[in-house]
Chains A and B, each alone.
Chain A
Amino acid sequence: MESLLIVKQQLTRFYTRFEAYIVPALKFFAMFFALLFIGSSVGFMSKLKNPAIVLIISLLCSFLPTNVIVLMAGLVIVAHMYALSLECAVVVLFIFIIMYALYFRFTPGDAIVVILTPVTFAMHIPYVMPLAMGFVGNPISCISVGCGTAVYYILHYISEHQDALSDGGTGELDIEGMMGGFKSVIDGILKNDVMIVMIVTFAATIIAVYLIRRLKINHSWHIALGAGVIVCFVVLLISSVVLDAEVGIGGAILSLFISSLIVLVLQFFIFNVDYSRAEYVQFEDDEYYYYVKAVPKITLDAPDVRVRSNNVRRAQEDYDDDEDDF
């Protein structure tokens, strides 16, 4: 435990010292992996799949605000869709604008969540996002996690049905074909039961974790994590049965387990307190009486390597011994 605390202190110091470089680097890697994921799943425009272009866009995004990064990722996806078919591009653009309007009004600070959610889906640990946002966000974070989930399932559907959705690259304007195309794209995207199941599950998990971790009880964060995992699994089961959606329960259990371990590590870094030393204090100012429960953080200073000389102390002890002899 002590060594973990030392690592935490060292990481905090490192982050504080190099924050100016770490934040752009994190933005760069987030966008880089997001673009790689987009390229691997719906990379229909070969120019945008070019590693040099991916690197340039990621580098550009490392100095831009996170909301602009989301906008940029959205534009890249729409460009890929346009290379597949005009219908896909129009439908995806409309859905993105609706989501952007919804998300941007309520949770503009959660931009990175919209990018990270599809990435965690690609890494098969999607439950990290609702559990983590329950701890670091608020119930409105449901919107940003929901938008990220929708983006993933849109890309997933299109990558799986690319042959059926492609216009064949003829470039001819076939009105009947386009109307059929619109219908199939909208059907496939909006009538995706698994997507609805996941959005409902994530929303329930975020709200449950948020409500429990704010309770004024000891170990509320650990209880919230356990309850969040249970709520997530139960809602997943119920909603998948109700909507008759094909959700792999075995995979979900494994993914939930790994996700909860990751969130436990996250918890260690953002909320690590010692409830055994909690104190209840009362004080007042001109306007209020305050009844405060103060729970100390568990901290440990990282050891500094320095050479210490004990000669002075030894000499003092010798002097004291000599005095005792008299």
Chain B
Amino acid sequence: MTRMAAYEEHQGKKDISISAYFRGDYISFQLLKSAIYATVGFALAVAMYVLYNMETFLEDFYKMDIVEFFKDILSKYCLVMAIYLVISYFVYSYRYHRAKKHVKQYNQLLRALLQMINIDRKGRKY
């Protein structure tokens, strides 16, 4: 009972909220959040790249092929996003699976506890 209470207090809260979702819904939602984080991170990395090459950009601004530059950036963005989302998919699939397993074990223990309580009540009646 102590372990059940401790689980319910800490990890259980997260696990129960995760297992309330369907698998597809949970993973899609997490992938969407990962995509936002990856976009912010990539935007900052591009900003740093621009700051790093500021001199070159200012000198060659009119000579450079802007379309080619943006294509290059976009292809790198797609690559980063793909890697990030694949990692996120595996991580959140694993977390969903783990949460389901823990909640299942918790429910089994709850059932066992209820049975014990019922047996105890019946014993008192007789």
Q: Write out the residue numbers on chain B whose beta carbons fall within 8 Å of the beta carbon of A15.
A: none
Cα–Cα, bound, A90→B51 (Å): 10
Q: B45 contacts the other chain (Cβ, under 8 Å)?
A: yes
Determine how close the nearest CB of chain A comes to the CB of B59; give it in whole angstroms: 11
Q: Write out the residue numbers on chain A whose beta carbons fall within 8 Å of the beta carbon of B87.
A: 106
How many residue pairs bridge A and B at CB < 8 Å? 43
Q: A91 contacts the other chain (Cβ, under 8 Å)?
A: yes
Residues A105 and B40 in contact in the complex (CB < 8 Å), given A90-B51, A183-B52: no
Q: A215 contacts the other chain (Cβ, under 8 Å)?
A: no
- Give residues of chain B (15-38) contacting chain A, Cβ–Cβ below 8 Å: 33-34, 37-38
CB–CB B48/A94 < 8 A: yes
Q: Mark B39-59, 1 if CB is under 8 A from A, else 0.
A: 011001101100110110000
Q: Mark A74-97, 1 if CB is under 8 A from B, else 0.
A: 000000000000000011001101
Q: Write out the residue numbers on chain A whose beta carbons fall within 8 Å of the beta carbon of B40.
A: 97, 101
Q: B93 contacts the other chain (Cβ, under 8 Å)?
A: no
Q: Mark A161-192, 1 if CB is under 8 A from B, else 0.
A: 00000000000000000010011001100000
Nearest-CB residue, chain B, relative to A285: B108
Nearest-CB residue, chain A, relative to B40: A101
Determine how close the nearest CB of chain A comes to the CB of B40; give it in whole angstroms: 6
CB–CB B54/A179 < 8 A: yes
Q: B91 contacts the other chain (Cβ, under 8 Å)?
A: yes
Q: Write out the residue numbers on chain A whose beta carbons fall within 8 Å of the beta carbon of B34.
A: 105
Residues A94 and B47 in contact in the complex (CB < 8 Å), given A101-B37, A105-B33: yes
Q: Write out the residue numbers on chain B whose beta carbons fall within 8 Å of the beta carbon of A182.
A: 51-52, 54
CB–CB B88/A105 < 8 A: yes
For B, the interface residue count at a CB cutoff of 8 angstroms equals 18
CB–CB A105/B37 < 8 A: yes
Q: Mark B80-99, 1 if CB is under 8 A from A, else 0.
A: 00000001100100000000
Residues A186 and B33 in contact in the complex (CB < 8 Å), given A97-B40, A98-B41, A101-B40: no
Max chain B C-beta neighbours (<10 A), residue from A94, A102, A105: A105
Cα–Cα, bound, A97→B91 (Å): 21
Determine how close the nearest CB of chain A comes to the CB of B51; give it in whole angstroms: 4
Cα–Cα, bound, A322→B44 (Å): 94
CB–CB B33/A98 < 8 A: no
Q: Write out the residue numbers on chain A whose beta carbons fall within 8 Å of the beta carbon of B45.
A: 94, 98
Q: Which residues of B contact A (CB under 8 A)?
A: 33-34, 37-38, 40-41, 44-45, 47-48, 51-52, 54-55, 87-88, 91, 108
8 contacts between A and B (CB under 8 A): A91-B48, A97-B44, A98-B41, A101-B38, A102-B41, A104-B37, A105-B33, A105-B34
